Amino acid sequence: MQNGHIFTFAGQAMIARPSGALFWPAEELLVVSDLHLGKSERISRRSGALLPPYEVQDTLTRLEADIAATLPRAVICLGDSFDDMVAVTALDPDHANWIAGLTAGRDWTWVTGNHDPAPTGLGGHAADVVTCGPVTFRHIAIDGTSPEISGHYHPKARLRVRGHAVSRPCFLRDDMRLILPAYGTYTGGMRTSDRALGQLMAANARAILAGLPMVEIPMPR
């Protein structure tokens, strides 16, 4: 259950998991962001381009594994859980039942994203903002005075290892903000050197690389 990188945020012990999920042991809370379920369906519907239609299954398989490993009391999906609202109704019935099974018996919150207001009929409840202890959860980070956990930006760190460029999804953290990587299988990323992230994160910000091995480094700029 403790598989991952342990760090402190807002005075609380947190675990960044290799999958890109975040676990808060004291609250028995699992957090994921930007699942973008149904992205292949949305791309096909809008442009006719065909992608392998396995991203929903792959994303849900990883999410189910994180739930089995952490046994959370509560789950927060930090917005953009679906690529758009049509993707919710276009879900394969087996996938819809799978999601409903994952939400059953848990305090499950779908935070509103900029791609999806929040799904309905799949269990759980919707909210724009969630507060737990000293931490506020929302989709997009804002300037504020309380510690905040968010998603939206799909941060990726690009660095050179033994002369080769390597890019990996990452968590970004400073004293007031923690930004999660995108959890979905078909999701791109924004480099940590992008101006938007550079302006958002403090000078002492750190990046925790998702995947294995998990490494924490100064945020590449």
pLDDT, position 156: 97
pLDDT, position 162: 76
* Residue type at position 220: P
Q: Identify which of 189, 160, 185, 157 has the alpha carbon closest to the alpha carbon of residue 170.
A: 157
pLDDT in tens, 108-154: 999 998 866 666 678 999 999 999 999 999 999 998 889 999 999 99
pLDDT in tens, 144-179: 889 999 999 999 999 887 778 889 999 999 999 999
Beta strands in 64-163 (DSSP E): 74-77, 107-111, 125-127, 130-132, 135-137, 148-150, 155-161
What is the set of domains in the chain, with CATH numbers? 5-218 (3.60.21)
Peptide bond into 213 cis (omega under 30): yes
* Residue type at position 1: M
Please tell me the pTM assigned to this model. 0.92
Enclosing H/E stretch for 98: helix 93-103
